[in-house]
Structure 1
Amino acid sequence: MAKFLFVYHGGAMPQSEEEGAKVMKAWMDWFAGLGAAVVDGGNPVGKSQTVAANGAVTNDGGANPVSGYSVFDAKDPADAARIAKGCPILHAGGSVEVAPIIEM
């Protein structure tokens, strides 16, 4: 098994406590269904900054800001993509960037 970083982009914020609970349940159910493949369920993240090579800092999060991350075990990139296709963020209009973690 290899480790893959899932970087979440976008996704609408819940508009009520009830909706938030429903979204959280979807994430917990997804993680539970994946069992030991979940290495680190991760966390949502706040608004990011971008530091350019020239030292300039922008505070807008870029064109497609990160909204969270997780780490999963998968057999290969195709298996990681299969796992990502079940991610609840997709139902909220977001996307999942999947990258293999290279062991050093």
Structure 2
Amino acid sequence: MAKKAMKEYLLLFRGGADPEDMTPEQMRATMNKWMTWMGGLKKKKQLGQGHPLQDGGKLLSGAKGRNAAKLTDTPESVSGYMLIKAGGLAEATRIARGCPIFINGGTVELRAIQEMPGM
């Protein structure tokens, strides 16, 4: 039987625990949960790039992005991202539901990566 082609998906993380509000023990426990989850994905060759994002930044708009507004972080701000590989949206959803961000009230936005022919 042919192996199902894997598609790439983007997970956008919002909210969750603020590391500045956590004790060192809470931070270690949270990081261990993330490392366990990501380690399982890595073992299955489903883990791509991903990083937390620093607070702040700029929101560019207008002609050629000439308008630049300072980003103010809110619970709805993107706090990190991760690329994963899955056989379809159902599997990607199952993977995303295992994310530890939900423990601390965060959310995950799941989006399929659009393939660009010739790229």
| Normalised TM-score (structure 1) | 0.87
Equivalent residue runs for 1:74-93 within 5 Å:
74-93=86-105
Equivalent residue runs for 1:32-47 within 5 Å:
32-34=39-41, 35=43, 36-40=45-49, 42-47=50-55
Deviation per residue, 1:37-63 (Å, 9 max, x gap)? 1122x1110124322336252421467
List alignment gaps of at least 5 residues for structure 2: 1-5
Residues 9/92 of structure 1: CA separation in 2 closer, same or farther (3 Å cut): same
Match status 1:53 vs 2:70: no
Match of 1:24 among 31, 42, 48: 31
List alignment gaps of at least 5 residues for structure 1: none
User: RMSD of the alignment, in Å?
Assistant: 1.8
SS in structure 2 opposite 1:19? helix
Q: How many aligned residue pairs are there?
A: 103
Q: Which has the larger radius of gyration?
A: 2
Q: Percent identity?
A: 36
Counterpart CA distance in 2 for 1:52 and 1:22 is: 39
